[in-house]
A = this chain, B = another copy of it.
Amino acid sequence: MRDLMSLTARPEVISLAGGLPATDKFPREVFERINACIASNGCAAALQYAPTEGFDTVKQDIVTVMSEEGSRADPDHIMVTTGGQQAIDLVTKTFIDPGDVILAESPAYPGALTTFMTYQARVVHVPTDDCGIVPDRLERVLSELKTEGRRPKLLYVVPNFSNPSGVTVSLERRKVIVDIAARERLLIVEDNPYGLLRFEGELLPTLFSLDTVENVVYLGSFSKIVSPGIRTGWLAAPSAIYQKIVLGKQAVDLCSSSLTQMFVHEFVHSGDWKEYVADLRATYAARRDAMLEALAEELPQGSTWTRPEGGFFVWVTLPHGIHTGDLLVKAIERNVAFVRGDAFFVDGQGTASMRLNFSYNDEERIREGVRRLGEVIREHLELRRSLGFS
């Protein structure tokens, strides 16, 4: 984070590396109105400790937000967390002992992979295509593990506009994955921070809502639809699982911030959030379009990239055996940054790929960033050719 942040902070660098939302779109008058509401309701409560599981008002707001995607959650089984990352940490802490196997989509969010590593899990990637996790490959991974005498503890999946791939799991696949997991008693951890940032296509039911055997923990976040600076996320879990996870929360930070929970509450309860999310969708859709157009113009033949229907990221794969790690220093010299693809795997895959973010920069900077990137790639290819590679 520090490195990305310091890159982002240098204005001459166009960072397509981070995963930052466009918080400059947040209306200052709304910010002021929210704070005025908190002050007039009495700031003592906003400055005091909160219940470990979160304020009931905020749990109710979360029920509202989840219902926008068709999920029905029980507020008694919702816990407010200190950002979505803490939800990942708490679930991992609760269920994983050293050496346990976690299945993760590939490529996978590196923040989750890092957390899995801190608990000494063994991560096994499950291959994906443009419709998300491939059920046959999931079955194959499971059967290979079975012959080793291993049973994975959980399956980590970002079903909508995944970080980093931008890919969405199709409805058919969702059903099959939920069924396989139920059969195998494999806990699904559904991490859905981007779901409401859909620019096109149909809204798909969450795995949480398709689950019939209380086998899915749902992780949500206000980071992408309100603000990451307020560090407010949540998890919703079946009763038995929920109780186990709650025990861990108090030990890690007692409770999440009252002040920022009230910020969320004022924003969601007033309804202001819907307009804001609609604005974000329009902003990000235009930025994605700018990025896809620029990629088509700038990248060499043989390059491929995903076409996300929402979210923050495009996943680019380069031809001719280019290792994106080899490009990064040169790219940063040329004042453009990306994340190398192998950062999204634990096993060295992804070397020909990179993650590009389109949520943070405006269209002009995106176009210029991709132009610089195209230049770096072309030069790299020429160098390779001159050295006798491909």
Tell whether A5 is near chain B: CB-to-CB under 8 Å: yes
Tell whether A213 is near chain B: CB-to-CB under 8 Å: no
Q: Which residues of B contact A228 (CB under 8 A)?
A: 47-49, 254, 258
**Contact residues, A112-159 vs B (CB, 8 A):** 114-115, 117-118
Least Cβ distance of A232 to chain B in Å? 8
Least Cβ distance of A30 to chain B in Å? 9
Known A31-B39, A39-B31; contact A111-B252, beta-carbon cutoff 8 A: no
Q: Which residues of B contact A263 (CB under 8 A)?
A: 259
Contact check: which of B21, B86, B250 meets A252 at CB < 8 Å? B86
Q: Which residues of B contact A20 (CB under 8 A)?
A: 48-49
Q: Mark A27-57, 1 if CB is under 8 A from B, else 0.
A: 0100110011001001111111111110000
Docked CA distance A6–B35 (Å): 26
Q: Which residues of B contact A52 (CB under 8 A)?
A: 1-2
Docked CA distance A5–B51 (Å): 6
Tell whether A293 is near chain B: CB-to-CB under 8 Å: no
Least Cβ distance of A322 to chain B in Å? 29
Least Cβ distance of A203 to chain B in Å? 26
Docked CA distance A21–B47 (Å): 9
**Does A229 lie within 8 Å of B251, measured CB to CB?**
no
Interface residues on A, range: 35 or more
Docked CA distance A251–B84 (Å): 11
**Contact residues, A246-286 vs B (CB, 8 A):** 248, 250-260, 263
Q: Which residues of B contact A192 (CB under 8 A)?
A: none
Docked CA distance A44–B115 (Å): 28
Whose C-beta in chain B lies nearest to the C-beta of A232?
B257
Which of A6, A115, A254 gathers most chain B CB within 10 Å? A254
Known A231-B257, A250-B114, A257-B260; contact A1-B48, beta-carbon cutoff 8 A: no
Q: How many copies does the complex hold?
A: 2
Tell whether A209 is near chain B: CB-to-CB under 8 Å: no
Q: Mark A63-107, 1 if CB is under 8 A from B, else 0.
A: 000000000000000000011011001000100000000000000
Tell whether A327 is near chain B: CB-to-CB under 8 Å: no
Docked CA distance A248–B227 (Å): 23
Tell whether A60 is near chain B: CB-to-CB under 8 Å: no
Q: Which residues of B contact A23 (CB under 8 A)?
A: 43-45, 47-48
Known A1-B250, A111-B250, A259-B259; contact A46-B89, beta-carbon cutoff 8 A: no
Known A2-B52, A252-B252; contact A227-B47, beta-carbon cutoff 8 A: yes
Least Cβ distance of A134 to chain B in Å? 28
Least Cβ distance of A223 to chain B in Å? 8
Q: Which residues of B contact A85 (CB under 8 A)?
A: 251-254
Q: Which residues of B contact A227 (CB under 8 A)?
A: 47-48, 259
Tell whether A294 is near chain B: CB-to-CB under 8 Å: no
Whose C-beta in chain B lies nearest to the C-beta of A89?
B252
Inter-chain pairs besides A23-B45, A83-B253, A257-B260, 12 sampled, C-beta below 8 Å: A1-B250, A5-B51, A20-B49, A21-B48, A31-B39, A32-B36, A47-B230, A48-B229, A85-B253, A230-B257, A253-B253, A259-B259
10 sample A-B contacts, Cβ–Cβ < 8 Å, listed by A number: A1-B250, A2-B52, A26-B44, A32-B36, A82-B231, A86-B253, A115-B251, A227-B259, A231-B253, A260-B260
